[in-house]
Amino acid sequence: MRDTHTDLRTFFDGCDLTLRWEGDTAHFELWIPGEEDPEPLATIPAIGGELEWAPTADDLLEHYDEGREEMIPVVYADDIRAILEDFAALRGDRRAYKLSRKWYVWEVSNAGFDEDDENKPLVIARDGEQLDLVTRRDDRKAGFVGWRIHWDGDEHSAPSTDDAPAVYFLVETCSQQYSKECGAPTYGTQVWRIEGSEVTHDAWFAWSSSDPVKAVKNLCDLYTVAGWDGETAIPPVDKDLLRVVRAIDSSYCYLVF
């Protein structure tokens, strides 16, 4: 049934690229005009694993050119391969991502998780506002971000750390701060490591990826050995097991745990 699929992209010939989740497996399929059922393209697990192309995928992405008298790729074959291969390269739970219909790149979204999951935190993040937790940017002149996390998912309940993990990370992508290397304000990604209710480690990475999971990896790599800025080393984390939740009032602030 078509209503179980997420439309990703429609091509000039009317073919639709869609994504369907069956359990913990993503199914990419191509809907061809006039056909009742979609054609399988590839599958991949939600976490880890590799992209597995369907045996008929190559045939679907080719057509017969009468002038050349041979099979050649359809004009959007590279676009489809890029979308699927970029999805396979995502870290963590791939259900946390959606495809931007404007740029056709994968972006973090809460839509991949069960909205009824009682363990889903609700995150509020506001620039320059004193909330329950304040995280200062690496460039102190750039100010701070105030956070309020309802670990039980209820915005109307009193925030409590009882359900919080021992360690978690807060990430601000598209964070404009002064770069000594560039000699001017530059966009990058700021990440903080939280233990209890205190910031133990933090860093800002200029011109870095907007992927919150990659930001956490960068921080852990930076502090993999004790002694950097007088801080202790950070124990490694399994990136494939990290969960990402975006703040409800910000497109650039995320909880990673």
pLDDT (tens digit per residue) in 215-256: 998 999 888 876 555 567 888 888 778 888 888 888 789 999
Gap between the Cα atoms of 60 and 32, Å rounded:
10
105 contacts: CB under 8 Å, gap ≥ 6: 86, 99
Q: Taking the C-alpha atoms of 103, 104, 108 and 109 in order, what is their torsion angle to the nearest 10 degrees?
A: 100
- pTM confidence score: 0.56
Task: Inform me whether the pLDDT recorded for 58 exceeds 50.
Answer: yes
What is the spatial distance between Cα 44 and Cα 134, in angstroms, rounded to a whole number? 38
Residue 106: band (very low, low, confident or very high) from pLDDT cuts 50, 70, 90: confident
Which residue would you say has higher pLDDT here, 3 or 95?
95
246-249 contact pairs (CB < 8 A, 24+)? 246/108, 246/109, 246/110, 246/123, 247/123, 247/124, 247/125, 247/147, 248/122, 248/123, 248/124, 249/124, 249/125, 249/126
What are the structural domain ranges in the chain? Answer: 2-89, 122-256
Buried b (16+ CB within 10 A) or exposed e, 164-196: beeebbbbbbebebbbeeeeeebebbbbbbbee
Q: What is the pLDDT of residue 1?
A: 46
Q: What is the pLDDT of residues 19-34, one digit of tens each?
A: 999 988 999 999 999 9
For residues 203 and 219, the answer to whether their CB atoms sit within 8 Å is yes
Judged against a pLDDT cut of 70, whether residue 112 lies above it is answered with no
Q: Mean pLDDT lowest for which of 26-35, 44-53, 96-105?
A: 96-105
